[in-house]
Amino acid sequence: MTPTLLETLTPGAPDVSIAVFAPLPKPFGEKDRQKLAVAVRTLSEGSQEYPRRTAWRMTDGRTIDASLLPDGVAIRFAVPKENLANGIALVEGLLRRPLVPQEDLDRNLVAIQRREPGYWAAALRPLSNDLKSLKQEEARALLRRVFDPKRVVVAVGGDFDAGKPTEFWANRTEDWKPDPGPRYPDITPTPEPSENPAGVTTVELRGPAFAAADPTLAPKWLALVALGVGKGSALFEKVRQVEGWSYRQEAILWPDPAGLVPRLVAATVSDEDESGRAEALRKTLQTAVDAWTEADRARAIGLAAASLERGLPLGPLWLVDGPPGVYDRSLLDAYWWSKAGVRWDPNRLAAALRNVTLDELKSTAAALLAGAKPIVLPGR
Amino acid sequence: MLPLLAIALAQQGPLPPIPQPPRLRTILPNGATILVIRRPGAQAVWVRLLLAARGGEDTPATHGRRHLLEHLVAVGTDGTLDRRLETEGAILRAQTLRDATEIAVDAPANKLDLALSAIGEMLRLRPLKTEDVAREAGILRQEAALQEIPTRLSSAAWRVAYGDKGLDPFGDLTAIRAATPAAIAALHQTLTAGPNLVLVVSGDVDLDKATAKATAILRAAPKIERPWTTRGEAKPGRDDSVQGYSEARALPVPAYDDVRTVAALAAALAYASEVPGTFVAYTPSGRPGMVVVGRSGESEGLGTYIDRADPASLYERAQLLVRRWLRRQMDDPGSDASLRGLLLAQSTGYSPDAMQEAIDKMTFSDFKAAFDAFRGDRAITVTGS
């Protein structure tokens, strides 16, 4: 069967960007998550027919970027537009016949014992890994299961003849059969972290997940911007500028197998008793929400529209390593199709944000705060 | 003959407008520099104010004072600047580098006046109280906890090479806490003297009109000339005390437009293309600088690769990578404005074109020399655990 491929025409673009989102199968346990974290890091080594140095020629020197998100695997790379067919061949090879060198598995096994690269990334995703070994065959089998043609979505953006990527893709994938998967898949639960390996304490209010296709996405999106995106947000103004206990604090829509999770997170140094900080944060933010005026709504709309319409990487949506920017359009297309069943349409969302009233904004923000779980993870 | 020419011109109708050049650089009588870049059809306008560090460079006693000033000035004169900008779809970011402090405003295409007005606020420091400085020093303590490993590796390499003349732009928390409002105000005065100011405007703008608007912002700055302090000769060495599993190899380099510098950058980019998870750090400077290649999460392997790599097999790729490195910065309007501003802040004659020329001149022999230097006794090794 031929998996979904989305085309986005961008006349004049010198490069073609190719992105994949493969949602995790269900169920998917913690042991498999750790194995997949190691296996995904080897995807930059290319496919069995196009190893890294060959792929490097196809991409004109650009690297293949592959990441394990909480809800799936994301792959991104670009090729010069004249290499469109090569790019399609490369992505098909990566998904069906990844190279997965054993020496890279061994090296990445060591690397993931440490922490996510980047303090903020590690603070947001305080995972611990204790996987001891992973053989090539097992890693390849796991990738085959994740890269299921029924679920995987590929997006191609650039200056090409409409229909060409679809034609190349169909020719290469019509014989692709879904992997039956294991009879008894891993269902080991992921343990709740009790501390933060990034060394900083995170103080968080975390809401329940909601679907990307949720009809109330627009007020929720705008409420998160008003609460914690930009330097005019409640989080920045209260937590950083007034209370002064955090340098970095953000409202985030976090990718999750159950949908999107609203998170209000502030990082702070780990030398004080922080246990009451999350409830205090809830109170501070609720007071700010109560005092919001049309000026707060206008700021949130101005910033959110700038992000959506001009591609500024500002959030709240978080994908691979932060809010997606103008160069992540193909990944957003693939991701949103997988999560919501429709293409990513920033202009439509921006228009919907403009229709959110102040009352709706305040009540949505208040509900997000009231329903959020307080979490404090001390740094170690 | 003259009447005939006049008739001929009249028959042609109005003369077509003379196309404007892509860029216009203006140096004001007070030494401030304005660069306006035309980007027809651009949906945004990118405005960059650079405050050259000349005369205000960090010393051990003042280490981090420019960074502290950046925090204090970037909020504007009444603390509502970010709200005002964000409401109009504009954002302001600030960063402190060794050679300059950069204030960047990205705004919708029709909001140039708003962006310039925000830049104008950077030149007027609000009256500071001791508690303002203390609160911001507390924020910097929080920021220190989130410093990423590439930054730590790079800072360590600079410290080895240049000692007190290569202090990191972040600063020392003790020195930062010791800053007084008067000292911050004096530093602001130094950094906003005419010769230290560069204003870059990039977008779908008229060169002359945008230059006139930028001139109105900068022309009141006093003309006070101060020299750069010299960075001195770099020393080789190593530092194994960085916090967090990591490793880096670094090479001190001359100015950004020297072929040895671009060869070192090309070598670093070639290494990074072979060793997964590797970063390359280089900030173009007319002064002695540093090319750093490193990675976090692992503390061995990169050095071994560098020591064994074959320059001949990587040369072609390195040429392509270093060209792309520069092109990527120049293709993005915001990055291009920042790079041009940073270079102009050091000298009105500096431009990325000189770096491009150095790249064009680079030979295999230059590349091999950089390769040898990365594994020779001039290189710096930094590791962390």
**Chain A CB within 8 Å of residue B335 CB:** no
Beta strands across the sheet bearing A153-158: A4-9, A153-158, A15-23, A72-80, A65-69
Distance from CA of A242 to the nearest CA of B (A): 9
DSSP string of B218-247, one letter each residue:
HTTS-----PPPP------EEEEEESSSEE
Contacts of B352 (CB under 8 A, 6+ apart): B284, B326, B329, B330, B336, B339, B340, B343
The stretch A81-107 carries a mean pLDDT of 96
- Rounded to whole angstroms, what are the CA distances from A352 to A229, A343, A345? 18, 16, 11
Q: Is the pLDDT of residue A34 over 90?
A: yes
Whether residue B79 lies within 8 A of chain A, CB to CB, comes out as yes
Size of interface A-B (CB pairs under 8 A): 103
Residue B311: CA atoms inside 13 Å, Cβ hemisphere, count?
18
Kindly state whether A326 is in contact with chain B, defined as any CB-CB distance less than 8 angstroms.
no
Residue B127 has pLDDT above 90, yes or no: yes
Spatial separation of the C-alpha atoms in residues B355 and B322, rounded to whole Å: 10
User: Is the per-residue pLDDT at B7 higher than 70?
Assistant: no
Instruction: Please compute the mean of the pLDDT values over residues A165-176 and round it to a whole number.
Output: 96
The DSSP secondary-structure symbol of B164 reads: G
Residue of chain A whose Cα is closest to the Cα of B45: A310
Look up the ipTM and state it.
0.93
Q: How far apart are the first and last CA of chain A?
A: 48
Average pLDDT over residues B113-119: 98
Q: Does B222 touch chain A (CB under 8 A)?
A: no
**What pLDDT is stored for residue B2 in this prediction?**
46
Measured in angstroms, the CA of A233 and the nearest CA of chain B are apart by 8
Q: Which residues from B are below 8 Å from A310, CB to CB?
A: 43-44, 89, 108
> Could A310 and B43 be called an inter-chain contact, meaning their C-beta atoms sit closer than 8 Å?
yes
In this structure, of A24-38, A263-277, A328-342, the range with the lowest mean pLDDT score is A263-277
Contact criterion met (CB below 8 Å) for B28 and B34:
yes
A-chain residues near B276 (CB < 8 A): 41, 44-45, 104
DSSP state of B88: T
Contact B145 A117 (CB under 8 A): no
> What does the alpha-carbon distance between residue B367 and residue B383 come to, in Å, rounded to a whole number?
25
- Residue A102 sits at φ, ψ, to 5 deg, of -60, -40
Q: Which residues of A touch B88 (CB under 8 A)?
A: 302
* Whole-number pLDDT of residue A115: 62
Q: Which residues pair with B249 in a beta bridge?
A: B293, B381
Kind of pairing between the strands at B380-384 and B237-242: parallel
pLDDT at B75 exceeding the cut of 90: yes
A269 touches chain B (CB under 8 A): yes
**Distance of alpha carbon A47 from alpha carbon A135, whole angstroms:** 17
pLDDT at residue A274 in the model:
75
Which range (A26-30, A131-135, A273-277) has the least confidence?
A273-277
For residue B64, pLDDT over 50 is answered with: yes
Residue A371 has pLDDT above 80, yes or no: yes
Rounded CA-CA distance A159/B29 in Å is 47
Contacts of B269 (CB under 8 A, 6+ apart): B280, B318, B321, B322, B325
pLDDT given for residue A117 in this prediction? 63
Q: Categorize the per-residue pLDDT at A199 as very low, low, confident or very high, splitting at 50, 70 and 90.
A: confident
Please compute the mean of the pLDDT values over residues A48-77 and round it to a whole number. Answer: 93
Question: Is the CB of B108 less than 8 angstroms away from the CB of A306?
Answer: yes
Q: Answer whether residue B12 shows pLDDT above 80.
A: no
Task: Round to the nearest angstrom and report the end-to-end CA distance of chain B.
Answer: 85
State both tokens at B105: 């405003």
**What does the pLDDT average to over A263-284?**
88
**Does B10 score more than 60 pLDDT?**
no
pLDDT at residue B14 greater than cutoff 80: no
Which carries the bigger pLDDT value, residue A199 or residue B348?
B348
Answer yes or no: is pLDDT of A275 > 50: yes
Q: State how far the Cα of A290 lies from the Cα of A314, in Å rounded to an integer.
A: 24
Mean pLDDT score across all residues of chain A: 93
How many Å lie between the alpha carbon of A109 and the closest alpha carbon of chain B? 11
Residue B68 to residue B348: CA distance in whole angstroms: 27
pLDDT at B1 over 50: no
Work out the average pLDDT over B155-168: 96
Q: Is the pLDDT of residue B9 over 60?
A: no
Verify whether the Cβ–Cβ distance B87 to A295 is below 8 Å. Answer: yes
Chosen for mutation from A45, A227, A241 (greatest number of chain B CBs closer than 10 Å) is: A241
Cα→Cα distances A273→A206, A268, B116, Å: 20, 11, 44
Q: Which residue of A has its CA nearest to B72?
A: A241
Region B99-108: what's the mean pLDDT? 98
**B91/A299 CB distance under 8 A:** no
DSSP A114-180: S--SSHHHHHHS----------HHHHHHHHHHHS-TTT-EEEEEESS-TTHHHHHHHHHHTT-----
pLDDT of residue B13: 65
Residue of B nearest to A301 (CA): B87
Residues of B in contact with A236 (CB under 8 A): 82
A31/B contact by beta carbon, under 8 A: no
Minimal CA–CA distance to A83: which of A15, A141, A37, A185? A15
What is the phi/psi pair of residue A377, to 5°?
-115, 110
- DSSP labels, A328-353: GHHHHHHHHHHHHSS---HHHHHHHH
Note whether B139 contacts A119, CB cutoff 8 Å. Answer: no
- Put the strands of the sheet holding B44-52 in their side by side order: B23-27, B33-38, B197-203, B44-52, B100-108, B91-96
Q: What is the phi-psi region of residue A191: left when phi exceeds 0, alpha when psi lies from -120 to 50, beta otherwise?
A: beta
Strand partners of residue B282: none
Residues B229-277 pLDDT 10s: 999 899 999 999 998 888 999 999 999 999 999 999 999 999 998 888 8
**B146 inside 8 A of chain A by CB:** yes
Question: Of A275-279, B23-27, B76-80, which one has max mean pLDDT?
Answer: B23-27
- Cβ–Cβ of A117/B277 closer than 8 Å? yes
Structure tokens at B115: 């962006």
> d(Cα A109, Cα A131) in Å, to the nearest integer?
7
- The DSSP bridge pattern shows strands B278-281 and B246-253 to be unpaired
**Alpha carbon separation from B157 to B152, B160, B162, B240 (Å, rounded):** 9, 5, 9, 10
Please state the φ and ψ torsions of residue B56, each to the nearest 5 degrees: -130, 20
Q: Is A354 on the interface with B (CB under 8 A)?
A: no
Least confident of A328-332, B43-47, B299-303: B299-303
Residue A127, chain B, CB below 8 Å: the answer is no
Query: B244 is written with which tokens?
Result: 């967090």
Quick one: average pLDDT of B21-30?
Answer: 96
Mean pLDDT of A107-125: 79
A-contacting residues of B 262-321, CB under 8 Å?
A: 273, 276-277, 296-298, 301, 317, 320-321
Residues A332-360 have pLDDT tens digits of: 999 999 999 999 999 999 999 999 999 99
